[in-house]
Structure 1
Amino acid sequence: MLNIAAICLTLTALLAYLNHRFVRLPMTIGVMVIALMLSLAIVALDALGLDRGLRQYEEAFIRSIDFSDVLMRGMLSLLLFASALHVDLSALKSYRWQVGGLALAGTLASTIVVGFGMWLALPLVGITMPLVYCLLFGSLISPTDPIAVMGILKTAGAPRNLELVIAGESLFNDGVGVVLFALLLGVAVNGAWPTTGEAAGLLLQEAGGGIAFGLVLGWVTYRLLKSIDQYQVEVLLTLAAVMGGYTLANHLHVSGPLAMVVCGLMVGNAGRALAMSDETRKYVDMFWELLDEILNAVLFVLIGLEVVLIDFSMPLVAGGAVAIAITLLARWLTVGLPVKALGSRYFRLPPGSPGVLTWGGLRGGISVALALSLPEVAASPSTRANVLALTYCVVVFSVLVQGLTIGRFVRRTMAREK
């Protein structure tokens, strides 16, 4: 494990240097582009018989990493806490119902739209998947990951309230998506659909339990931080709260992602304002900002390298294009259209926001991790490979195309609406 971590960090550092020195893209997108190009070059050399074992070495390295375990049980808790730490809770409170509605109802509706859309459209390109696996795909692709786009939104001059809604929705829909995925995975394994009461009970246990546990964890962390004034210990306490809290949440069978979001909001607001000195606040912010940047860079490098494991065919490429179109359509129907219909009366967002919310809903590492976590005992090898390939197509398009154009899209949309 230490050797794998050393290789990942070294490779990420080199790619980050190349991006900063020559490519000049936002770091997470830049390192993914370079990693993807290197992987595709190795695949091309292998096809020509000139790779000298490079593809086999890269495949062996990638297979030695349990991507799902690394992200779902390692990186995700740290990334969600770090993101929530800098969300202004007082501002978010004024949008709590809007964000909650988009995160819960929007993610559920998107899962259904994507699932049934894929079930109906995939046979047209020569791919067949059972409905439950189409819905599984819908649940793992619906959560958004704005990590790569938030900095671009700020530099593009996006309104603060629009940034807040995008960030708040993404923080909570990750947890909702994981719960829906677990529910549908149980259906796929057991072969029986739960009753409405059983499904509601699981959602209540996972989502409600995760929020309640996050409140308790955040309060305990806040009290510990308030009782001392020593920045080294306080930084260590926040790290322990995340790693220990996430592990305990999994043992309690409640949503760890939601728990980390709630804990991060409490520590980032009450904790930073009332329990930290200026010096502690500076070091806590610096530590979590740096950790967030490093982990995101590593994550996007791994996503770029994963392409060597995808066995693409013409039907899968066509299926990927279908998946991209349906995912964007579902995002518009479940987020853009409600915001447009309810408008300023409910969402209180500027004109043009529906388009920005639709195009700015990036998919990222959590979608790839959930696809990789699909056990082979639950799905046939071909079905699992199809889900992974379709997920990869959507994520790569989302990060490279949407991520690289969202800044220009925001500027044009906001200028046109003025």
Structure 2
Amino acid sequence: MELYYSFSILIVLAAIFSYINVRFLKFPSTIGIMVIAIIISIILVLLGNFTSKPLHDLAELIKNLDFTEILMGAMLNFLLFAGAIHINLADLKEQRLPIIVFSTLGVLISTFVVGFSLYYILDYLLPIINIHIEMPLIYCLLFGALISPTDPIAVISILKQANVSKSLETKIAGESLFNDGVAVVVFAILANLAADEKVVQTGHMDLSFSHIFALFLHEGVGGLILGALFGYIAAYAIKTAHDYKVSVLITLAVVMGGYLIAHSLHTSAPLAMVASGLIIGDSKRKISSNKKSNVGNFWELIDDIMNAILFLFIGLELLLIENLQDYWLMGAISIITVIIARYLSIKIPTIIIPFEEKFSKGTIAVLVWGGLRGGVSIALALSVPESHYKNVIIAATYFVVVFSIFVQGMTVGKLAKKIQ
């Protein structure tokens, strides 16, 4: 009953905020919802103990919600499946090399650039000017892993309005689908190390290739194989059922049941959802003469609803951070570091890997500025192992995500139009 009550409140809030945005603000839907939620959160924080009982109850409800379980255990799987089912597998295959490289090598480059840069700045540079925000290397790397996955859900519609090339749109969408799953795997590996007291105290980590490769193989490749299996079974069932309602039920079973199975096998559920969504979507396009099937329309609606709730979460997360004003310097450093790391994670692969398609400065600029951070980063930050570094990481993540969605999300469309 408590979960139903929580979701009911969130749906009501999402509906109200969506209406206010469409009626008055006229921002892109997800950005508008987030901005209104931030404003409400600031009001609640400022009012503090003087707030009315309904507002106080709302603040308590948000604080008591298990954001990590809701986002990572439920919403992320729906969002990734909904995103994958609409991606044309043929377009994805054409851009497979840059997508694979950016979603794997790019995530690793970003993780280590952010992690080591932040560690050096916090532990060596800031103490010189008598500012002390030291953080162990393992937690800096953990922050690097959780902030590296891009989440361009809010910007895809803007890029479409800017009429960017199909190849660029596919690169951004494809990368976001796969790097979410890859980043979750990298985060899980580092989180296990962070939970080890010896690692935290000594700084020595088992980062041997064999150890990391074995973990990545089990989580990452295992998730893709499992998802492909779900996808082919579901695609066959949908093809032979010839019934819209049954088809929708089958896709829901894949997402909800697939998560439970992936979780029990300790493989990556996000990557499993991406793989199954791509296969089912491709199968539906082959057997349907319409550009959009009923199943596709259903998942487009689910995608919109989930995104509304997701960005509502991001806005209301302000209520979970105590004394946010104390972390402004950490936030500013994190924003700059993440942008530089994003640039390097795109630029380095274009230099060392002989892509068939040459990447112009404009394309790289859109890929860098369009790499928004969102719900995945928030959920991972909230699931960081308990320590006195957790609040610092959550606050830094919040600064980066809000800057990313609001500043980058509101300007990337104009940037894309300029390079046409």
The TM-score normalised by the length of structure 1 is: 0.93
Contact 1:344–1:350, Cα closer than 8 Å, also in 2: no
The question of 1:243 aligning with 2:256 is answered yes
Determine which of 3, 6, 17 is the counterpart of 1:4: 6
Unaligned runs of 5+ in 1: none
Spell out the pairing of 1:407-418 with structure 2 (5 A cutoff): 407-414=413-420
Paired position in structure 1 for 2:380? 370
The question of 1:60 aligning with 2:60 is answered yes
The question of 1:183 aligning with 2:189 is answered yes
Paired position in structure 1 for 2:267? 254
Contact 1:359–1:406, Cα closer than 8 Å, also in 2: yes
Spell out the pairing of 1:125-140 with structure 2 (5 A cutoff): 125-140=131-146
Deviation string 1:353-391 (CA, Å, 9 cap, x unpaired) is 111011000000010100111232xxx2x3110010001
The question of 1:91 aligning with 2:91 is answered yes
Spell out the pairing of 1:26-175 with structure 2 (5 A cutoff): 26-46=28-48, 50-52=50-52, 56-123=56-123, 124=126, 125-175=131-181
Unaligned runs of 5+ in 2: 200-204
Alpha-carbon offset, residue 217 of structure 1? 0.7
Distance 1:313 1:267 in 2: 43
SS state of the match for residue 241, structure 2? coil
Spell out the pairing of 1:321-336 with structure 2 (5 A cutoff): 321-336=332-347
Paired position in structure 2 for 1:392? 398
Alpha-carbon offset, residue 160 of structure 1? 1.0
Aligned residues: 405
Alpha-carbon offset, residue 336 of structure 1? 3.5
Aligned letter for 2:147?
Answer: I
Alpha-carbon offset, residue 42 of structure 1? 2.0
Alpha-carbon offset, residue 197 of structure 1? 1.1
Alpha-carbon offset, residue 53 of structure 1? 5.1
Contact 2:81–2:274, Cα closer than 8 Å, also in 1: yes
Pairwise CA RMSD: 1.8
Deviation string 1:175-211 (CA, Å, 9 cap, x unpaired) is 1100011100111112342232111100011111011
Sequence identity percentage: 44
Distance 1:411 1:289 in 2: 26
Paired position in structure 2 for 1:283? 294
Report which stretch shifted further, 238-247 or 146-155: 238-247
Distance 1:336 1:375 in 2: 32
Alpha-carbon offset, residue 271 of structure 1? 3.1
Alpha-carbon offset, residue 156 of structure 1? 1.0
Aligned letter for 1:363?
Answer: R
Aligned letter for 2:89?
Answer: L
CA shift in 2, pair 1:313/1:37, >3 Å? closer
Distance 1:327 1:93 in 2: 29
SS state of the match for residue 205, structure 1? helix
The TM-score normalised by the length of structure 2 is: 0.92
SS state of the match for residue 117, structure 1? helix
Alpha-carbon offset, residue 312 of structure 1? 3.3
Aligned letter for 2:39?
Answer: M
Determine which of 353, 364, 368 is the counterpart of 1:354: 364
